[in-house]
Amino acid sequence: MVYDIIVIGAGPAGLTASIYGRRAEKKVLVLEGNNYGGQIVNTLDIENYPANYHISGFDFANNLYRQALDLKIEIKFEKVIEIKNKKIKEIITNKNKYLGKTIIIATGSTYRNLGILNEKELVGKGISFCATCDGNFYKGKDVCVVGGGNTAVSDALYLSNIVNKVYLVHRRDELRADLKDATLLKNKKNVTFLLNSSIIKINGKDHLESLDLSTKEGENINIKVSGLFIAIGHVPMNDCFKNLINLDNSGYVIAKENCHTNIKGIFVAGDIRTKEVRQLVTAVSDGAVAALEAVKYLRNK
């Protein structure tokens, strides 16, 4: 079977693309290597999406997934290994091979690691990348959040209502997060800010025990914590196409607002695309644009 559109990724951008493609009466396949919903499922409360003033990321993802299923969109949970650019494009997964006239890449990104010794060994043993997933394990304990953006501040706010104390570690002298949330966090009595600081050592054998920090002034600090939540950004998930599609220096797909890549018939949507703003609203916008551009390509082919 040859699909009109194959979407790689079932996050907000990918599922939106599939919905727009299906509504244009195209044969659409969605391939997802993990779970549907992408990073948004870890967001406790979405406040900045138009007409949905308060909705959890989990509920948003479920609604989008059900909408795709209601349209009879075919969704398969298989990891894409390779894309072959032919007249009819080939996608190789860990289970099968699929043929498509067009492809929409919506693979998104994954969590960035600190790259410190003992980090990988203690993931799940005190180190986490999702405060809303694992925060309750640390009820009444002291924890640390590292990062200065919206995710880090959101995680620290969430944890401050559960744990005894939150240390927020950020390498710069000011936060990059939205002013509203940053102000809320600064008013929390159980939050301690450690700015101009970096984690240099993670201590613990079977579980996290403490962290060694270094400040820009050369001071060394040790904090005893039971949990470390890492929120220092994301890494683009480009393994299956990095040798085919043009990427920028950070590994994101080079594409303008029309979502065209350097390969005809291959489009891109969501956080994997080069852009100034990576938000839920821009992800679904990309999904709609990419699908409509794919439909236009098919019509003019």
Indicate if the pLDDT at residue 69 is higher than 80: yes
- What's the pLDDT score for residue 246? 98
Q: Which distant-in-sequence residues (6+ apart) come within 8 Å of 21 by Cβ?
A: 4, 5, 7, 28, 104, 291, 294, 295
Residue 30 near residue 10 (C-beta atoms within 8 A)? yes
Per-residue DSSP letters for 4-53?
EEEEE--SHHHHHHHHHHHHTT--EEEE-SS-TTGGGGG-S-B-SBTTBS
The kind and range of the H/E element at 181 are: helix 179-186
Per cent of the chain over pLDDT 70 is: 100
Mean pLDDT of the chain, nearest integer: 95
* Calpha distance 238→244 (Å, rounded): 10
Do 84 and 34 meet the contact criterion of CB atoms below 8 Å apart?
A: no
Q: What is the DSSP secondary structure assignment for residue 275, as one 8-state letter?
A: -
| Residue 122 backbone class (left: φ over 0; alpha: ψ -120 to 50; beta: rest) | alpha
- SS3 of residue 178 by DSSP: coil
Shortest CA distance to 274 belongs to which of 148, 105, 150? Answer: 105
Cα–Cα distance, 36 to 49 (Å, whole number): 19
- Tokens describing residue 85: 């650019």
pLDDT for res 82: 97
Q: Give CA–CA dist 170/193, Å, rounded.
A: 8
pLDDT digits (tens, 9 = 90+) for 96-124: 999 999 999 999 998 899 999 999 999 98
**pTM greater than the 0.85 cutoff:** no
Q: Where are the domains of the chain?
A: 2-111+234-300, 120-230
2-111+234-300 and 120-230 share one CATH topology?
Answer: yes
Q: Could you read off the pLDDT of 222-263 as tens digits, one per residue?
A: 999 999 999 998 899 999 999 999 999 999 999 999 999 999
- Taking 90 as the threshold, does the pLDDT of residue 18 lie above it? yes
Q: Residue 134's CB: how many other CB atoms inside 10 A?
A: 17
- Residues annotated as part of the active site: 130, 133-134
Average pLDDT over residues 60-68: 97
SS (H, E, C) 65-128: HHHHHHCCCEEECCCEEEEECCCCEEEEECCCEEEEEEEEECCCEEECCCCCCCCHHHECCCEE
CATH of domain 2-111+234-300: 3.50.50.60
d(CA 23, CA 73): 10
Question: Could you say which architecture CATH assigns to the domain 120-230?
Answer: 3-Layer(bba) Sandwich (3.50)
The pLDDT of residue 46: 84
pLDDT of residue 34: 92
Say what the pLDDT of residue 290 is: 98
Bridge partners of 223? 211
Cα–Cα distance, 79 to 190 (Å, whole number): 42
Instruction: Give the Å distances, CA to CA, from 260 to 202, 255, 280.
Output: 43, 6, 20
Q: How confident is the model at residue 277 (pLDDT cuts 50, 70, 90)?
A: confident
What are 59's two structure tokens? 């509920």
Q: What is the mean pLDDT of residues 63-69?
A: 98
pLDDT at 52: 83
**20-59 tens-digit pLDDT:** 999 999 999 999 999 999 988 877 778 889 998 889 889 9
Condensed to tens digits (0 to 9), the pLDDT of residues 190-231 reads: 999 999 999 999 999 999 999 999 999 999 999 999 999 999
